[in-house]
Amino acid sequence: MSLSHKVKTALDENRLLILGAQVLFGFQFQGVFQETFADLPSSTRIINSLALALMALTIGLLIAPSMQHRIVEEGADTVRIHAVAGVFAGVALLPFGISLSLDVFIVFEHLFGFAAAAWAAGCFCALVALLWYILGFVLRAIVKVPVMSDKEEPTLLATRIEQMLTEARVIVPGVQALLGFQLAVTFARAFGDLGAALQLTHVVALCFVALAAILLMTPAALHRIAFRGQDTEAFLTLGSGFVLAAPIALAFGLAADMLVAIAKATAATGLATIIAGTSFAVLMGLWYGLPLLLRMRQFKTE
């Protein structure tokens, strides 16, 4: 299997994970505006806020390899980026599993009480640990897959363009699903009970997520209309620019809606602002800060 094929496979695997992560983020956000959410114990509402923050971290970790591929490697397929994609996906499964278990806890507590919720969440957490980590390490020890050294070769233009479009596809389905949740929330009765400032914050978040979706879909449209499906360096440069710009809008949208949801759930706007601001800083660090730092170090060693 070629290195380019391995990199594409790693990005496709991230796409499977990130779609679920963004859909669950949308569920956690929308759940805050359901009529019976206010009847939940304050501890459960705090748990929902924690699950929301963990899912935002998951999204950040899953998108990070694509950003490093664009910024550090300039779209080239390297041994380093293949390893990075695997490491970030493995780390992302931890907050993903915890957040999913917390969601199960919230639903079961609402329907069946605390004892059933704790049992169900514990079972899901154990299942996540077994299937996502323990089973993999056990099979790795048993199967003994030979470690083959990958030979780095100049990445063909067609492959680099395919990888760029794949990276856009990694993000866009979940963004579109999240946008659907955001649009639906505006018609919830609980949304009308929010203060004007929080309502405006949600509208701003919705606009940023919509902008992210538009930016991510633009390369495909340009490839068909402007470049007639031809692979050129100009298209690669232009498309990469749109793919790199979209996560900025997504980070703003995620952070702003986290502020709205946590403020609604906990009635603590100050705390919600701190959590949302921290989440935004973490996302920007993962998506831009770390790649740019690695890029600078790469320049120094060349």
Question: Using CA atoms, how far apart are residues 14 and 89, in angstroms rounded to an integer?
Answer: 7
pLDDT of residue 145: 66
Question: Using CA atoms, how far apart are residues 301 and 298, in angstroms rounded to an integer?
Answer: 5
SS (H, E, C) 21-80: HHHHHHHHHHHCCCCCHHHCCHHHHHHHHHHHHHHHHHHHHHHHHHHHHHHCCCCCCCHH
Q: What is the pLDDT of residues 92-151, one digit of tens each?
A: 999 999 999 999 999 999 899 999 999 999 999 999 999 999 998 888 888 776 665 666
Q: What percent of the chain has pLDDT over 70?
A: 96
Burial tier of 197 (Cβ tally within 10 Å: 0-12, 13-18, 19+) = exposed
Question: Using CA atoms, how far apart are residues 174 and 179, in angstroms rounded to an integer?
Answer: 8
- Domain layout of the chain by residue ranges: 3-301
Helix (H/G/I), strand (E/B), else coil: 20? helix
Q: What is the pLDDT of residues 257-266, one digit of tens each?
A: 999 999 999 9
| pLDDT above 90 (res 20) | no
Q: Which residue has the tokens 């304050």?
A: 42
The mean-pLDDT minimum among 40-54, 173-187, 197-211 falls in 173-187
pTM for this predicted structure:
0.91
Burial tier of 36 (Cβ tally within 10 Å: 0-12, 13-18, 19+) = exposed
* pLDDT bracket for residue 40 (50, 70, 90): confident
pLDDT of residue 168: 84
Q: Which amino acid is at 287?
A: W
| pLDDT above 80 (res 170) | no
- Reading phi first (left if > 0) and then psi (alpha if -120 to 50, else beta), residue 144 is in left
Question: Using CA atoms, how far apart are residues 276 and 283, in angstroms rounded to an integer?
Answer: 11
